[in-house]
Homo-oligomer: A and B are copies of this chain.
Amino acid sequence: MKKINTSPISGMQELLPESQATFDGLKAKIFDNYSKHGFFNIETPMIDRSEILFAKAGGDTEKQIYRVIKTTESAEDSDQALRFDHTVPLARYIVEHENNLTFPFKVSQIGRNFRGERAQKGRFREFYQCDIDVIGRGSLPIAYDADVISTLLTTFSTFELKTPVLARISNRKILSGLIEALNLQEKSQDIYSIIDHSEKVPPEKTKADFQEIGLSDQETAKLLSFIDLHGDRAKIIDSLRDLNINSPTFYDGISELREVLVLLEYMGLKDQIEADMKIVRGLDYYTGTVFEFILPEHKEIGSVCGGGRYENLTGYFTEQSFPGVGGSIGLTRLFYVLNEHNLLKNQETKFLDYAIIPMSKNEYKTAFEIATKLAEEDYRVTTVLTDKKLGDKLTYAAKIAKNGIVIGEDEVKTGNYKVKNFLTSETSDLNMI
């Protein structure tokens, strides 16, 4: 009967209503928790000038950007594109609105971004990212790094997952200092990249990778034992000092990491954090704190949240310095993997609280009055207005609502309404305020 293929484009999330309700619930929790922790929400346009969006992009990202053209234009006119993350539009926003913002500016962004990636399981071309950032003007105290991590950790708590979440934290300066001390600065980008991939490959492969870029056995051994370091604050600080590295950057990094860990302990999050020298983050714009969240009982899922400190967010757009720290939850992918692994406790099964079922049009007025009162009490209510038999109306109601209230002649006369719980089949009296 279909005249045309009606499936969404591959790589796009399109949910059925019950699943969408669960997704919307998580999104609302993110929005609420970001607000409660003092982050101001903003929205930037999804379409922006190519010269803005391409300023930072490069490599794979650039290839994945969607250009946008009006049907009446030729492709050469296309100087506009779809945003591929929140970071670039945020940088533009900060520079554009600088004089109307209060710094440090705590800002959140929740919305869809677009990347024309090759479609594959669990990868999306259109995806929600839920970012927070704190942006300073000129400088920004390290304490805000802890503020960002704690806000993201408490956000995960609101999800009530069946499994714990762990924030793995490091500081880029520590590895930078080590690289300096080993005099391997010209190989630092390769080293970052090998460490960033080290968890997805066996240890022998990481060793071979280090040797392939020309590191000596001793250098390789030093880096391998370095990236193995992880644990709580006392343990990690001791282990790092024991390395006896001759580099001020190294000790700067330790001191920053220590401060972040102490503050997170102050915030009552000791059990949800760990220092881990394997964390470096792929992007080269991070300059200090870096972190990734994992579900330790489901390591195969990989990182579910990540971020860090960057000193030069707006470098492409202005001479002024706006250092920042931020992190992001990739909600579309997260929702996909949480469902795949059945880790969500509270799935919406029946979205509505009540279905009011008038027997005939004679009971519509009463039905509307009850529906209005229940809606005023914050319940989700529908009135079944089909011309079907009562049995059909009840079947419909039971599919979409937790409870049903049938209104017939008697109910209108007596004002006594019975609530049928469709889940338990129990019947009780309706009590309204």
Contacts and interface: CB of A to CB of B under 8 A. Distances in A.
A51 B44 CA distance: 29
Specify the main secondary structure of chain A where it touches its partner: mixed
A42 B40 CA distance: 26
A80 to B, nearest CB: 7
A72 interface: yes
A47 B385 contact: no
B63 A72 contact: yes
A162 interface: no
Interface string A368-390: 11001001001111110111000
A369 B400 CA distance: 42
Interface in A257-307: 263, 266-268
A113 to B, nearest CB: 11
A125 interface: yes
B365 A266 contact: yes
A402 interface: no
A71 B80 contact: no
Nearest to A114: B47
Interface in A139-170: 141, 143-144, 147, 154
A385 B4 contact: no
B55 A4 contact: yes
Interface in A1-41: 1-9, 12-17, 20-21, 24, 31, 35-38, 40-41
Interface stretch (A98-106, A213-221, A233-241): A98-106
B364 A143 contact: yes
A19 to B, nearest CB: 10
A154 B371 CA distance: 13
Contacts of A267: 368, 372
8 A-B pairs with least C-beta separation: A38-B382, A75-B75, A12-B45, A17-B40, A143-B385, A70-B116, A6-B96, A266-B365
